[in-house]
Structures are given as structure tokens and as C-alpha cells.
Structure 1
Amino acid sequence: MKMFKALSKQLFGAKYESISKSLAVAVIVFAAVRGMEVQLEIAPPVLWLASVFVAASAMWQTLAGRRHMETVQGMLVLPYENRRFVFFYVTVLGMHALITKTLPVWALFSAVAKWSCPDMLTALLCGCMACTVSAAVYRMWRKYHIVLPLLWSAGILAVLLLTRRIVPVLVTALLSIAAAAVYLRSADAFDFYNAASAEKTARRRSGRGNIAVYLIRYLMANKNYLVNTAGLCAFAVFLPLLFRQIPGMNMFPFGLSVLCLNTPLCTLLSCDPDLERAVRALPGQSRWFGRRYCLFLFAVNGVVSGIYLCGWQILNGGNMWLHGGTVILFALSGAVLSVILEWRHPIRGWKTESDLWHHPRKYIVPLIMLLLAAFLDWMTR
């Protein structure tokens, strides 16, 4: 139990403050949405799919996080029993994913729709399945076993999407948890330790360096950042089709405001305290780094917004020059605000990259962009 307690304090805090914060957020979300008296008809498979995706993504982010690898590296130095360590490690990470990330989602679903007790229990079991299967798939992925994880994931999704009944989903979840537990019995603690993520290489270069090269290498070394950007690009393709069904409003700027939510790229200094200290300590580096960081975010926002613009023109048409200027305005404004916020108010005290990327600060820039979009919609009426 000492290992379980040590791992829990590493993720939840010395006094388990993350649990109380997550419970408070869940209560606030439930009360706020329920107070709005919004009631929707949502099919149970939607709740189950949301539980699987949120829990699995949070679990995977924690397993692959660099800050977490540093914690694991320190704990592996101590004497431990291999099977107990793996069991406690997966259990604590799963609890962290369910309590801090999935619980607010369940609160939101509970506030907007009525669910039966079997539906909620199935959602809980789906979340547990997602965490255990993610740990097993992560180990397979580290060993370059690609086909089986893909087939396993596809099978789970097929059951959730095609059967739409509780019994098959429960059976699939229980069998998947059992299979993952059997597979992880033979796992070694070092199967979850990524030395490349924990180690930091320092390279000395003459001159001032090239921040663009650094940012590109940073993206290549942190594949989650690329995945998030690729997800935004895919979302930008479907947004014009979604907004096409909302008449009476100029929805084009609203889509641009949503696409500013590229959290990993907007927390570059928060996720790397060493880089932040170096930039703040060296004279003249803040402006030099800030300008290039802003241009980098502007370029990324421009690419994502450009995809959205192309889709909008194909499906909905409109003034190309006006929309192009709006894209530049939102991409530049989002980049400038993100850099200012990151420099003035960096995120402190986070335990894992998942905590960093789900910090409430991420919604400030999109909220400002939404207000700007509402103003533009009012101006164009």
C-alpha cells in the first residue's frame, strides 16, 4: 500500500487536493447546466462512447507524459515488487483519469439528460475498460505490436456503435478488462518508462539560434502536439457542414473562435519550466522569443483556419476577401493573446501534461474570440 499511496500523492497532490477540485468542478457543472433547464434526448451509446474516449485519451496522455516519466524514473530507483508496481501504477492512473477528467463529463451528461442506473453503471464500466485497455495497448505500442491494438480498439467501437444495448456492452467491457489484466500480469515496470521522454538533451550552439527550428523539433519530439493539431484540422473540415444547418446567423467567425483552442501549443512555457526560466533570465530574450512564438502560433492557426475557410467556401460560399481578412484577424489575435497569457500567467503546480492541457485557462482565449465573433455577427446584420 505504500507504493499505492506514493503514486496517488504524485498524481493527486500531497493532500489529494485534485480529488476535491474535480468534485467541486463536477458539482458546479451539474448545478450550472441543470439551472439552465436544458434537457436533451441522448441515446445511451453516446454516453458510453464519451466515457470511453475521454477516459482513454486522459489515460494515454498521462502514460506518455514527460513530467510523469520523471516521477516514474525516481520511483523505479526504489526497491519494488514488479507485479504489485504495475497493478498499483495502472490503478492509480486509471483513478486519476476517471476522477479528474471523466467525472465532469459524466456530470454534464447527467445535467442535460435523464439516465437510468444501468446506463450510468455501464458508463462507469466503460471508463474503467478504457483505462485498463489503454494501459495494455500502450505496452503493445511500445513493443511495436500494431495490428492487435487496432483490432482490439475497432472491436470495442463496433460493439458500442452497432449493438446499442447494455448486455453486449457490459460483456465486452468485462472481457476487455479481464484480457488487459491477464496481459499486464507479465508486464515489467520498465515497459511504462519512456527514457526518451524523461531525458533532456542539451545542445550548445553558437549565435542566437533559430527558434523556428526549435519549435519544429519540439513538435516532432512531442507527438501529442501534432495529434492535437491534426485533430483540429479534421474538425475544421466538418465545422462548415455543421454550421450550415444554423440559419439566421453569421457562423463563420464562430468557427474561427473555436479553432483557436490548440491547448498544447499554447502552453509551451508552462510545460517546460527550464525553457521559461532561461527565456526570463537572459536579457532581451523575452521579446525575441515572444515575437517568434507568436508568429509560429499565427502560422499554425492560419493553416487550421485556412482549411476551415476552404470548406466554408465550397459548402456555403460568401465573400472570399472578407472571409480571408477574418481568418487573418482571428489567427493573429488568437496567437497574440495566447502568447501574452502564457507569458503573464503561466500555469503552475500541474502534475501531468493532462492536467496542464485541461486547465481552465485554456478557455480564456476562445471565450474572447467568441465575443469578437458575436460582435462581428452583430455588425454584419
Structure 2
Amino acid sequence: MCLTVKRTTAETVVRTPPFPSVRSFITANVVPAFWSRNIPTALNFLRKRKALVVTSVRSTRTSSMFFSGEQRTTVLNYPAAPKGQSRRIWELDFLRGFAIILMCIDHLMYDLAYVFADVWRARGGAADAIARFACHWWAHEGHWIGRTRDVVQVVALCVFFGLCGGSTIFSRDNLSRAMKTFLAAALVTLGTYFASMLGIIEEEDIITFGVLHMLSFATVIVTAVYALTRLAKKRGDLVFFLVSAALTGIIFLVNYLISRATIEPNRWLMFLHEDLADIDWTGGDYFPLIPYLGYAFGGAAVITLLYGAGKSLFPKGDGVWNKPFRFVGRHTLVVVITHQVVNMLLLAVVTALFVDFGNFVIFG
């Protein structure tokens, strides 16, 4: 008997053909026995191994010049991933987590340089050396440590915002994800505003359009472009790749032109470009749409090109060495919201225990 297998994205269909091959026609008397004995045995074996799940069995009568009898169609579905596992692309989670960890370290250096540096430098020794490193990391004035920070920042931003744009092609609920991110961004803005009113931070440290604001807007914009390119059903991925690549170039070109133009700043336009904002400096994170939306579209183009099939390109191995990075990459929103609180508390405890006993600095 001839057995055919048809694969689709959602199911696998195993069926006996209505027009058997010549060999099956010659052995027509064997076909009923083969079907009734071997096929059920094979399906039961796969079902016990949890490789396939039988969802339905349909029987129809078929009559032709070559064959007359019953045709049976069995629809099989691959089972869902076991609880605690997922079908995510591990290297993308790893890269996202790596970029987030770099951001946490960068902000840890900021907190040490601008909040705890005086106490640490007064201690001398190793504490003074660490505080000096943090100060050079941020206010480098040409120091090699500061130049290293500039390179690390560019790499982390490219990876992080690029993955933000690329993730839209895998997520089925981008608008909900964008709304959650925007609500979190609004809470961060309100939190830093009240902290400024209480004198905990300076007014220029209020986060008005930070990384979460940028992520929420970028998710909506890239999702809208992706949805429009889906109208070209047969060439949707190619169209999205070309449009994303073109928008990347356009956004960076606009960034170049704005940075060299003389434009009257307007505080209400600070979400577009830093040269349009009526601010001298902000200590809080600030990521306007231009040029960072270009990173998102650039990442969308690259990920569409490399991961259009939705499959990992690298072997995962045992996964132990990259598990912490993947964990952070899967919980980006929580880490971004909480990491500064964790940083400040960590530095306060270390200061009170090892640098200036009993002095938590931030509670003084």
C-alpha cells in the first residue's frame, strides 16, 4: 500500500490515497489487512511516545476504475511544548538578556558615580579605585574607560532595539505587549516625577521618554508596517525586509539632517529627536524615536532575513551556560522596571557594611 504524508503548519495528515500505485493495485487483496493491522499499530506507538496526538479519524467510500473500498483519513497534531518549555529562539533571548545585563551594569556605574562616589572615594583603597572607575565610565573626558563605555553602549542599543523590532514577526499579540510596556513607562515617569518633588532625585533626572516609552512606540510602529506588508501574501517577508531596510536608511538620514540643521527646539517634540527637545541634559534615560526607531527597523530586517522560518540557527547544547542570559531576555520588562531599585539598594547595603559602616547614603 502507498502511504502519503502531507505537512502543514498546524497539523500532519496521514491518509491512504484514493488512487493507489500500481504495486498497491496488484496487491489489492493485501491492502485491507495492511491498513487494519499496521497503521493502527504505528499510530498507537507514536501516541504512546507522545510524538503525535490523534485528533480525528474520518472514513469515506471511494470508487474508481482501479480501486473500490474505504478511505480513512487520520488527522494528527504535534503536541504542545511541555510546561516550562517553549519554542522560542534561544539565541535571540540570549542576545536580549546580554544587552539588558550590559544596561544594568551601565546604570550601576551611573549610580555609583553620581550618588555614592564621594563616600567611596573618602574610604580610599579599593573603594576609591572602584569609584574612580565609575566616574571615568560616565564623565570620561577622553579617558579610555569612557571610550570603552561609548562602544559598549552602541553595541547594547543596537542589539536591544534591533531585537525589539525583530520580535514583532514572532509575537501574535504585539499591541497588548506595547500597551503593557507603555503603562510601565507611564509608571516610571510618575515615579521619577514624585521622586523629584520629594528631593530624592534632581528635576533633570525625571524620565520623560526613556527606553520603555521608546519600546512601546517602536512596537506599535513596526507592527503596523508588518501588518501592511502582510497584504502581499506571496511575498510578504520579502516586502517587509525591503521596507524595513529602506526605513532604516531613511531614519538615519533624517537623524543626520536634523543634527546639522538649525531648528527652534520645542519641549513637546522631545520624543522625536534630542535636538528638537528644549533640554540641555537629562540624567534619566532618554531615547527619542529618531534615531532609535532606525535600530528597531534594522533589527526587523536582519531577523526577517535570518529567522524568517522561525527556527534557531545555532545548537542550544545543554543550555546551562546561557540560561541566566535567556532568563533575563525573557523577562525584559520586569528587569528594566526594577533594576535601578535593585542597584540602589545593593550599593546602599554594600556602602553601609563595607565602606562607611551604618551609612546607607540614600536614606541619609
TM-score by length of 2: 0.25
Which has a greater percent of helix? 1
**Whose Rg is larger?**
2
TM-score by length of 1: 0.24
